[in-house]
Structure 1
Amino acid sequence: MSLMPLPAQPADVPWPTEAWPRGEAPASLDSARFHALLAQAFDTDAMGETHALAIVQGGRLVFERYGPSHGPDHTYPSWSKAKSITQALVGILVGEGRLDLHAPADVPEWREPGDPRGAITLDQLLRMSSGLRFVEDYVPEHPSDVIEMLQRSGRPDMAHFAASMPLEHPPGTFWSYASGTTNIVSRIVARAIGATGEDFHAFMRRALFDPLGMKSPIPKFDGAGTFIGSSYCFATARDFARFGLLYLRDGIWDGRRLLPEGWVDYARTPTYQQPGEENRYGAHWWLDVGGPGSFSANGYDGQYTVLVPDLDLILVRHGATPLARKDALKAWVGEAVGCFR
């Protein structure tokens, strides 16, 4: 399938490594509709709490607004937006030849002869198609592997907790979104570079955050020193937008290629999913939230970094939206992007 072309940085717009260049909303913006949507976004009855909203177009910050007690220097929880950061770390190592997407994944728990999990590849993990059993449910009274992993018995070693799950389906045949999968991937990255804890954090800064000018990220680690790549990397809205710009610019930043050629296209190439799945998925990125051709990092409670190539637009939203309003917020994101069409 053909993917929508990714826009280049305009020649007259500086990269936001030090500060975001400012711009005006385009004349084509449906201003009345946009301001009605803004009122809805910051109406707690309609959408829950919106803490931060930032919109970048053409490489310039064209809109920014914060909720009470929040601001541009406030760091916001990523929740599952961290999965897309983990995908970037994998890409860096794939580009260096230190990881192979299509080889059996480096997972010690699967090395026993005859263990069918030993055939699972890094590609299948990134596409949430490993076939492992994992219950992704955030309702406390429901059976939930993700709550057990993040908050209970899995906390000392989340990758081990997830890698110990049995197969439910042959690898590559069934899509099932699972935070445990990402923590397995995060440990694979750690094993490839021989670093955990603060040494791994230093790798994240050196290889990804510092080149983009991302000064705010605060990644969290489990008891084994593995980055909790499924869920925990706090950052400012402006820094999440910087990360989004890296992907919107095809992995290039200020003339330097940070992600290997083709890696962003890999992220946004659809994964096979069973008929009936509501939301399309790529490789640790969601698809279509901002309209056809868009791709996004999404997180629990309504965290979004949405990239829209045909508009050269990034929308970052942070907040606390109840589960019952999740679909309304997703629809709101699509409508907000539509105001720029």
Structure 2
Amino acid sequence: MPSRPTLRYALLAALVLTLAALGFVAHSVASTANAVAAKTLCSDVFLSRRTPQAVIEQDLRPDNPLAPLQRFSVETASASVSLLGLWTRRAIHRPGLSCTLLNGVTEAALRAQPLPEPAPPPQPETPLPPSNIDGILQMAFEEPGGAHALRTRAVVVMRDGQFIAERYAPGFHRDMPLLSWSMAKSITNALLALRTANGALDIRRPAAVPEWASASDPRHAITPEQLLRMSSGLAFRETRTALPADALNMLFRQPDAGAYAADMPLEAAPGTQWQYSSGTTNILSRLLRDTFHGDLQAYWNFPRQALFDPIGARHMMLEVDPSGTFVGSSFAYATARDWARLGQLFLDDGMVQGRRLLPEGWTRFATTPAPAAPHGSYGAHVWLNRGSENERQWPLLPDDTYSFQGYEGQLVIIVPTYHLVMVRMGLTRTGATWDPNRYLPSILAALE
């Protein structure tokens, strides 16, 4: 039996370790929460042109138990958030790049980076005439009551390549870019298609990832196609509600999102296991950057020049991490109309105004189920409405329906059978679901 002094020291050591662990967790949670808020505040103020008060009251305080303790600040070209004056996190705004968190890098270092070529200011969009589905769109903004709000902010419907109806919540409008979250993955998909078309990238050859360069590394065989199909086998944890939360760590605490994801070990043979992973998208974003061989400005200009301008998505923008790589998994801003235009590009198999933009057959490739995906529900960075009626996400919609989806209820729904694209943007958090099955079948019926 240990002596009393020995037992006392053991208990004291255990207490110290426990307190240290609790302190680490507190630091991690507070730092991440402040980073999420700082990044949101910065982008929504300087890019979406919302007032700081509106962003704080409508986005940062609801459903946030830490909000009463957080302090929010907006400066000339930055935003910062602290918790009781501690764990301050800051994001800075740069023209053409929007906002970037200061993760392991100084503001001076970021501001020393070259900027993309300035884009001409987008022209205001023309309002639409009244439509016979305006009443259905109004229903899509109704709140069901109860503890959880849907907070729909924009709904747009496009048919046969033409906008036919739209509606916006008070304080939001057709020229306001909004955060995509994981709908950004569809942009990464299209950019990779463009680089594949011009021969800069081969998605079926092993990915040229520095961390996997050795032929003896089991990750060496992973291909960009397997990354696109979320079947890389990498041990990346997407969850936001439990530790380890790799996605949150990658997006809000790391200087290089692609490098962080590429460091993950292999837990399954490539191509044999499906697991949704924002990390794989940021590996693809870094692969895309590497095809420009160090020309950072050419890389930054590429999305606008090669994709956004040709489809008329003049408000669309990808944001970068501190290393300069697009956060292609999560940080895109665009208007609801811009998202509809991207959906229409896929619906038209990469054609826009008679010009081929994406490789012929790319949409068929993107909507082919990943072999390892359950019920064929996922293609190449695209969600599919496949499987039996009981297995489909939206059983009331045709099985050729596919979609781009993002956190908090961001949706681009593409229904080839009806030549239709529908976009919904909002702030629907855990506990509530904005369900297209309640609205889209009525819209389709009204258009027949």
Aligned residue number for residue 42 of structure 1: 142
State the one-letter code of the partner of 1:286: W
Aligned residue number for residue 270 of structure 2: 171
Alignment of 1:32-181 (within 5 A): 35=135, 38-39=138-139, 41-43=141-143, 45=145, 48-139=150-241, 141-152=242-253, 154=254, 156-181=255-280
Does 223-232 or 209-218 show the bigger shift?
209-218
State the one-letter code of the partner of 2:402: F
Shift of residue 282, structure 1, vs aligned partner = 0.5
Shift of residue 333, structure 1, vs aligned partner = 1.0
User: Can you list the C-alpha shifts for 1:275-334, whole angstroms capped at 9, x where unaligned?
Assistant: xx47810100101255310111100000011110011111100001012223xx2xx213
Runs of at least 5 residues in structure 2 that lack an aligned partner in the other structure: 1-122, 386-393
SS in 2 for 1:100: coil
Does the 8 A contact of 1:196 with 1:226 survive in 2? no
Aligned residue number for residue 382 of structure 2: 285
Shift of residue 218, structure 1, vs aligned partner = 2.2
| Cα distance in 2 for residues equivalent to 1:66 and 1:119 | 46
SS in 2 for 1:298: strand
Residues 106 and 44 of structure 1: CA distance in aligned 2, closer, same or farther (over 3 Å): farther
Shift of residue 43, structure 1, vs aligned partner = 1.3
Following TM superposition, where does structure 1 have runs of at least 4 consecutive aligned residues deviating by more than 3 angstroms?
17-26, 34-38, 44-47, 195-199
Shift of residue 192, structure 1, vs aligned partner = 1.1
SS in 2 for 1:315: strand
Residues 20 and 88 of structure 1: CA distance in aligned 2, closer, same or farther (over 3 Å): farther
Does 165-174 or 96-105 show the bigger shift?
96-105
SS in 1 for 2:398: coil
Alignment of 1:1-341 (within 5 A): 35=135, 38-39=138-139, 41-43=141-143, 45=145, 48-139=150-241, 141-152=242-253, 154=254, 156-194=255-293, 198-273=297-372, 277=374, 280-288=377-385, 289=394, 290-326=397-433, 329=434, 332-339=435-442, 340-341=444-445
State the one-letter code of the partner of 1:150: L
Does the 8 A contact of 2:137 with 2:167 survive in 1? no
SS in 2 for 1:85: helix
SS in 1 for 2:431: helix
Shift of residue 175, structure 1, vs aligned partner = 0.3
Shift of residue 190, structure 1, vs aligned partner = 0.8
Shift of residue 41, structure 1, vs aligned partner = 3.4
State the one-letter code of the partner of 2:403: S
| Cα distance in 2 for residues equivalent to 1:114 and 1:187 | 22
Does the 8 A contact of 1:20 with 1:61 survive in 2? no
| Cα distance in 1 for residues equivalent to 2:317 and 2:325 | 14
SS in 2 for 1:185: helix
| Cα distance in 2 for residues equivalent to 1:191 and 1:298 | 27
State the one-letter code of the partner of 1:240: W
SS in 2 for 1:324: coil
Runs of at least 5 residues in structure 1 that lack an aligned partner in the other structure: 1-16
Instruction: Give the total of aligned pairs.
Output: 310
Residues 278 and 151 of structure 1: CA distance in aligned 2, closer, same or farther (over 3 Å): farther
Does the 8 A contact of 2:235 with 2:266 survive in 1? yes
Shift of residue 42, structure 1, vs aligned partner = 3.0
Shift of residue 37, structure 1, vs aligned partner = 7.1
SS in 2 for 1:80: helix
RMSD value, Cα: 2.3
Does the 8 A contact of 1:307 with 1:315 survive in 2? yes
Shift of residue 19, structure 1, vs aligned partner = 5.9
User: Can you list the C-alpha shifts for 1:12-70, whole angstroms capped at 9, x where unaligned?
Assistant: xxxxx9967957757xxxx6xx8467435331637520010011112221111111211
Shift of residue 142, structure 1, vs aligned partner = 3.6
Does 230-239 or 45-54 show the bigger shift?
45-54
Aligned residue number for residue 7 of structure 1: none
Residues 322 and 278 of structure 1: CA distance in aligned 2, closer, same or farther (over 3 Å): farther
Shift of residue 93, structure 1, vs aligned partner = 1.1
- Percent sequence identity over matched residues? 42
| Cα distance in 2 for residues equivalent to 1:306 and 1:293 | 11
Shift of residue 172, structure 1, vs aligned partner = 0.3
| Cα distance in 2 for residues equivalent to 1:261 and 1:136 | 32
Residues 258 and 18 of structure 1: CA distance in aligned 2, closer, same or farther (over 3 Å): farther
Residues 291 and 297 of structure 1: CA distance in aligned 2, closer, same or farther (over 3 Å): same
Does 67-76 or 192-201 show the bigger shift?
192-201
Q: TM-score, normalised by structure 1?
A: 0.85
State the one-letter code of the partner of 2:143: D
Does 44-53 or 223-232 show the bigger shift?
44-53
Residues 196 and 160 of structure 1: CA distance in aligned 2, closer, same or farther (over 3 Å): farther
Q: Which has the larger radius of gyration?
A: 2
| Cα distance in 2 for residues equivalent to 1:95 and 1:218 | 22
